[in-house]
A and B are shown apart, each in its own frame.
Chain A
Amino acid sequence: MSEAVLEPVGAAGVVNDFARDKQVFGVPWGKAMMWIFLLSDTFIFSCFLVGYMSVRIATTDPWPNPSEVFALSFGGDPIPLILIAIMTFILITSSGTMALAVNMGYRRNRKATFWLMVATAALGATFVGMQAFEWTKLIVDEGVRPWYNPMGAAQFGSSFFMITGFHGMHVSAGVIYLLVIANRVRNGFYEKRGGKYEIVEIAGLYWHFVDLVWVFIFALFYLW
């Protein structure tokens, strides 16, 4: 290619820099694709949350107070949102172990990567387990149903089961995904493919995203 000397500056320069090379982003294909997928998934959760907020505003029945509904008592006075706080803590912790796993992956420490990913998956599974406990409590003890809620607006139950259910499915899928990748890290699958461990980071992106979504659900459903 014959290259001219003058380079455009300002906005045109930015456009040219992005447009110039074979690759817009200097990352592996899988990572670029995961980012784009997460962008799309963001729109799914945004629609769920906007839909929930819309029906919450639209309904004329009273909306139950989440900090009372999701309170647990251990012998003494009920502590508001204690279970949700623990669940959130567990999920955020799993993001930490995931970040360590990514680091260990790039250091090609396969054993540490494997165990850190297993720990992440275990924390995720614990989260789903506690969610199952929360659902059971709500359904069996409180009598909340997707179509009916003895404490007020039916949309409370509908939104709760739909949004946490969809998020829980994401976490469960993530647990399976992490275990599959962890197993491949352990059995040397990636050693045969040039010893690259970007896949750990790609799985990590998904995992952090699921955690981040939980933060929004926590803020908009439980704290509002």
Chain B
Amino acid sequence: MAYVAIADRDHEIEHHDPQTFITKYVWSQDHKVIAIQYGGTAILVGLIALGLSAMMRLQLGFPDTFSFITPENYYQFITMHGMIMVIYLLTALFLGGFGNYLIPLMVGSRDMVFPYMNMLSYWVYLLSVLILIASFFVPGGATGAGWTLYPPQAIMPGTPGVDWGIVLMLVSLAVFIVAFTMGGLNYVTTVLQARCRGMTLMRMPLSVWGIFIATILGLLAFPALLVSAIMMLLDKGVHTSFFMPAISSMGANPGYTGGSPILFQHLFWFFGHPEVYIVALPAFGIVSDLLSTHARKNIFGYRMMVWAIIAIGGLSFIVWAHHMYVSGMNPYFGFFFATTTLIIAVPTAIKVYNWVLTLWEGNIHLRVPMLFAIGFIFTFIHGGLTGLFLGNVTIDLPLSDTYFVVAHFHMVMGVSPILVVFGAIYHWWPKITGKMYNETLGRWHFWMTFLGTYAIYLPMHYLGFAGVPRRYFAMGNTDFLPDSAQDLNAAITISALFVAATQILFFINVIWSLRKGPKADSNPWHATSLEWQTPDTPPKHGNWGHHLPECHRWAYDYSVPGYADDYIPQNVPASVAPAGRDHGGAH
């Protein structure tokens, strides 16, 4: 397999060097600029979703207080909050943002393999975001169908936004999938085909592994969402009956006949469950690198970490119906899906043990990225353990559609990935901007966010046990709920508003750092992976100057005995420094 890569031809780089401000920063084909565009857009749209959750919490904590939150608005807020957070924030930020920034730098390539398509990916993503936001301003407003958009209610009268909101939502999703596919093909091909000399797959940092496998999951899972979006658009637009059974609505017969609402659920969750890991796997990978770097120790069990990522990715395609235990299903299917679901706990537990063992006897530096990484271990274990409850059919049945579920998935795929996002931003901030952030502000940001999220989500588990149903606008005088449930709800709301407000610390830090932050060293954390070894900080177009790096070791040569420094970068030859425990080369 000795193919000469195009990236080896050093002189070709000069040809598409951007010249003007527009080609440099707006219509840019540079993966780093595209990454920042993706990340900035995702964070902005995420702030909208954060605002929506604050409105929901206001209603839940203090019902009958805010006249501007109607039941219709509430359902619209729920729907848009969920969809934005899962797809337009987390998926776009991890893959479009970090994937774009880190993959070429970490595998030692000059750019993605097809930069023009990569640029298109961002602009099409922006289009999908604009379509989504536009749905707030059309007659009837955004859809209120819940983020799962289950038919028949999603397209039946009585659901908010049934005229235009649902159509714009489905179109926006389809456009997003086109954007993701253009980017995703680039990420996968770059990892497979455009690594620098010596960068074997088994020498890649785990960040790249996580993003790589997550992208493959995306390329195979988003088709199901695309197809269900197209079929629902047809049901809504031209009155086909794919998902719509014969049904009467408000005394009228809308004329549907013989469709299968369960089919939508299968298609949606065939996408929806891998989607959980599209968000989680990049977080797994990134957190591994943060822990290893800031503990000055090699990641424990690198090979097992890689195989665990691959195993989780594979398993994620055969567990989808555990979201549908209460939808009605053959008991044998429930048994099958419960079994596969619980099997995922094995590779996941391997990862958690390995993270903890990486910290064991490490030289731990409790800098801000490390705080977020360790915080992630806590929230992820808590969210993962409740997943064991919900994966079992018999335990899921009473807990389904209660706040226990809300608490579970917010811990495991809301808070946990977001903690990693913050940790990763702090970690790579010096490389991306060339400036240092304020350590003290960062620590305040971490502790208030971390403790605050526990104040929000721990009580929700109790609400779930008490039987408080999710997605309800108000409880009214429900007999089986004690009055204290409302007190707990009020407390949760106060915590949620507090956590939302503390995020301002992050933005203050960003602005402070950009304006007054001290200049960053090219490798402030003394990290080994290639992105820290660029000739310029921030890296210039083409990343590596005249010569591509050569990789001589794995990404985790920290504290190698017998070497003066406690880290050996990946591009240091074996003749200069001892080979640590390299699993990647021929041996």
Contacts and interface: CB of A to CB of B under 8 A. Distances in A.
B574 interface: yes
Interface in A1-35: 1-4, 6-8, 15-16, 18-27, 29-30, 32-33
A33 B114 contact: yes
Interface string B185-198: 11011001111111
B584 interface: yes
Interface in A31-53: 32-33, 36-37, 39-41, 43-44, 46-48, 51
A54 interface: yes
B199 A3 contact: no
7 contacts: A2-B574, A3-B585, A16-B586, A29-B113, A44-B227, A60-B258, A162-B231
B257 interface: yes
Contact of A51 (B184, B200, B267): B267
Given A2-B579, A40-B219, A58 B260 contact: yes
Given A36-B219, A59-B258, A23 B193 contact: yes
A210 to B, nearest CB: 16
A66 to B, nearest CB: 18
Nearest to A54: B263
A20 B260 contact: no
A11 to B, nearest CB: 12
B582 to A, nearest CB: 10
A212 interface: no
Contacts of B373: none
B219 A47 contact: no
A146 B193 contact: no
A85 interface: no
Contacts of B228: 47, 51
B181 A37 contact: yes
A29 B234 contact: no
Contacts, number: 161
Contact of B197 (A18, A22, A29): A22
A162 to B, nearest CB: 6
A177 to B, nearest CB: 15
A154 B243 CA distance: 12
B6 A29 contact: yes
B587 A47 contact: no
B278 interface: no
Nearest to A162: B234
Contacts of A18: 201
A44 B241 contact: no
A167 to B, nearest CB: 13
Nearest to B259: A55
A26 B3 CA distance: 6
Contacts of B226: 44, 47
A43 B181 contact: no
Interface in B56-101: none
B109 to A, nearest CB: 9
B351 interface: no
